[in-house]
Chains A and B, each alone.
Chain A
Amino acid sequence: MSIKTLILRSLKKNLTNYYLYVFALVFSSALYFSFVTLRYDSSMNKVQASVKGEAGFSAASILLLVIVSVFLLYANQLFMKRRSKEIGLYQLVGMTKFKVFRLLSIESMLIYFGSLTIGVILGFFSSRLIVMLLFKITNVQAVATLHFSPEALLQTLLVFLVIFVLMLLVNYFFMKRQSILSLFRVVSTTEASVKKQSVLELIIGIAGLCLIILGYYLSSRLFSTDTVATNALLGMMVAILASVIIGTYFFYKGSISFLFNLIRKKKNGFLSVQSVLSLSTLMFRMKANSFLLTVITTISALAIGLLSLSYISYYSAEKASEQFVPNDFTFSHKKDLASYEKTLSDHGIPFEEHRIKVLSVPADLSDVSDRPLIFASSNSKYTPISVISTKSINEPPLKKNEMYLTGANDSFLRLTNFKESGTITFKLKKESLKRTFTELKHHYVVSIKYSNGSLPVAVVDHATFQLLEKEGKPTQSIYNGLDIKDNTKLEAANDYFIHQFKPVASNNLSPRVASRIEDVKQQRGMIGLAMFIVGFLGLTFLITSGCILYFKQMGESEEEQPNYTVLRKLGFTRDDLLKGIMFKQLFNFGIPLFLGLSHSYFAVKSGWFFFGVSLWTPTLIVMGIYTMLYSIFAILSTLYYKKIINDSL
């Protein structure tokens, strides 16, 4: 047989077996190419001009490259191991090592560059789609036009060429190291052999579970104990990461087999065929693959966590904007307000003005928070707090000696352990004034810029307000807000606003005037780009790790085929076996997924309040999508097993 027919033959065989590998290759090259195209394209300036995403983009493209190359190298290694018998066979029939190497190289070159070509073509077309998506999430109004970029093509080709050369090198050394005999044995030595459980394993197993729980526990206290006050935050974070990651590793190394062994012991030899196919093999497999699984779990957790956080911010943009712009528009200067009001009147748009006088009164807050350190100035017992009158916001008068607080955000409340009710003592020039509050509202009445730090604003009845103003001689300022009465006219009002204030509104650090619509847009744009990049990376990671698990399952199923033969001879039906396999896949994909979800849940939960105001909806959406995409690989694996089972008798 000539080398050409050999290549063609094994190519044909491998293409049917490795369609997923080809898919992954096409996918990752398409992704990379479109990402680079995006970077080089001029239409990106529209996004970046407002957001400065260049740094993010280049960091992301490097990360993308790392993920893709690790994946390709790893997959290549898996295939070499799987094909070691074939390689040994070629050598056995008298081919030289170099000739076999050449054979394999030509074959993989055909697959690799074939997929790359398809990937680049797909990447070019999909980049337009991606740009459209990016424009949509970042609120850029522009038509997505993309030009073919030779630089992007060159960069993609170069990068993938380097990866290919690396692959060849790895293959070369793999073959050089191996004797023919060891090539025949490779498969069996890679998986840990079946052994009895040792005491050490038991200890590792228990330690793994404990470490994970410890990490979770620490994470729940990360921002709520004295850590914040004592600057132990960084140390604590490192401790959490370490204990969770090591715990995960131990979990795969020992806990799984420990738990499964407990179940097995309980069954006392009476294992149904379902548990034979799931429990008994999984406990050995997971142990053998514990490192890989740890990496996959950790990065999944990272991806889900980051995606959730960025989606939380994106999702909360509107709410977050309320803190800075509580009304439709705000104005620092009265003359801006007046001129805008004139514009509105000229165009017949009804509006409502909110002018609120804000006092800054020193107050003793020791009763409402046990951690005043965070907001109090160090040398004084008194912290300035903003005070407004019920009258200025058109609310009915309060009972004497009572007040309420409003405008509290979650991160502030958690950091300071702020109480829901309590007493605040205002310091006047001569005496002091005690007021109790029974309510802590989240709603913002004046912009957060008018309160001290993130402290809520005290709302007192008008008599108290006047007293404070008169006796305390506090610093005062006036908040100017404006609401459009008719929501359908808001859009138009906003257009006039932009038109009128374009020169002054551009300074977004301390804007003289602000529009809520514009503020939300801006926030969305900023977070949207971050979310887009994280999503891009997360998706790549999801697909590559799913592929790796699938490839592992391919190998496993072939290794276990003799077992299926036995079981079918003994009279177990295909359906019996398939049920067992489904169970196995449930664990096989489910455990890393579940651990990843649970890790990321605790990570998100420990600090989400810095990112937004809503935890559940965005997190659940992200987790749901991740789980769905991930399950596709479990289903594909099960289908592969089905084929193997059918062929086993």
Chain B
Amino acid sequence: MFILEAKNIRKSYGSKLNKQEVIKGLDLQLEAGEFVSIMGASGSGKTTLLNVLSSIDSINSGTIMIEGKEVSAMKEKQLAQFRKHHLGFIFQEYHLLDTLTVKENIMLPLTVTKVPRNEAEARFKSMTEELGIYELKDKYPNEISGGQKQRTSAARAFIHNPSMIFADEPTGALDSKSASDLLQKLTDLNRSRQTTIAMVTHDPVAASYCSRVIFIKDGQLYTQLYKGTQTQQAFFQDVMKTQAVLGGVPNEY
């Protein structure tokens, strides 16, 4: 059973006269509990894909099903409701509210659920301890580092136990140490909670943490790689090769 199923989706920007088709009939399936990354050259439509999959943006045609519900047919209010309860987000620029403390930021998704207070408190504690940010709970975002912000944003994405998490270049603004820390945490959370994660990234190292990497080109699925039983190192090499073929900017290591 697929948790997410996209069939023949199309998305274009611009007016009728000046139309630019970014996604051109793309099919995609994600299995429950998968950790998938989406790669492709800059401007290939990764962010756009993530946005339409996560219902932040609308599609022009095709269908998107999440957990068997047709998201692409929902009205704005229903969508918002759906996002609030079933999806989690990690953004490249963290997207924390700067007038809220770390704790308030993280708890935000829980305020609309029926989770009782002490249960919420317990979840908050275990989640932030797992991510190593419990001590920061009363600080404001401008008082913590980028890596800590990104972990806060990850905690916010996970706190309400969503069935899917969408992450757009979560490691883009981090140094390699903080990046691998965060990715390790995401992998752990993915395993322990069985949360499906779809992550856009430019970084083959980040991609090598995933179980599958999907490559996008010209608005269509170009190819995909499965990690299978390979080591992370071997998978990383594979990803690098494919990326070079794809024509993206290869990372020099």
Contact = CB atoms under 8 A, between A and B. Distances in A.
Interface stretch (B39-47, B95-103, B170-178): B95-103
A271 B95 contact: no
Nearest to A271: B104
A254 B101 CA distance: 19
B56 A269 contact: no
Contact of B84 (A270, A281, A570): A570
A194 interface: yes
Interface string B135-170: 001111011000000000000000000000000000
Interface in A168-198: 193-196
Contacts of B4: none
Contact of B99 (A280, A567, A574): A280
A575 B77 CA distance: 9
A569 interface: yes
B84 A572 contact: yes
Nearest to B124: A269
B74 to A, nearest CB: 12
A405 B61 CA distance: 91
A570 B97 contact: no
Nearest to A196: B140
A276 interface: yes
A563 B99 CA distance: 10
Contact of A270 (B82, B85, B107): B107
Interface residues of B, number: 39
Contacts of A567: 97
Contacts of A194: 98-99, 140, 142
Interface stretch (B63-71, B109-117, B203-211, B219-227): B109-117
B229 to A, nearest CB: 36
A571 B83 contact: yes
A570 B97 CA distance: 12
A570 B89 contact: yes
B95 A270 contact: no
B99 A270 contact: no
Nearest to A274: B111
A272 B56 contact: no
B80 interface: yes
B129 interface: no
Nearest to B115: A270
B142 to A, nearest CB: 6
Given A572-B80, A572-B84, A271 B98 contact: no
A625 interface: no
B126 interface: no
B104 A571 contact: no
B87 interface: yes
Nearest to B79: A571
Central interface residue in A273, A280, A567, A571, by most chain B CB within 10 Å: A571
A569 B97 contact: no
Contact of B80 (A271, A284, A571): A571
A570 B83 contact: yes
B117 A270 contact: yes
Nearest to B77: A573
A563 B81 contact: no
Contact of A271 (B76, B81, B96, B108): B108
A269 B124 CA distance: 10
Contact of A571 (B84, B117, B137): B84
A417 to B, nearest CB: 52
Interface string A186-222: 0000000111100000000000000000000000000
A566 interface: yes
Interface of A: 193-196, 264, 268-273, 276, 280-281, 284, 562-563, 565-576, 649
Counting from the closest, the 7 A-B pairs by CB-CB distance are: A571-B84, A571-B83, A269-B103, A280-B99, A566-B95, A573-B80, A269-B107
Interface of B: 56, 76-77, 79-85, 87, 89, 91, 95-101, 103-104, 106-112, 117, 120-121, 124, 137-140, 142-143
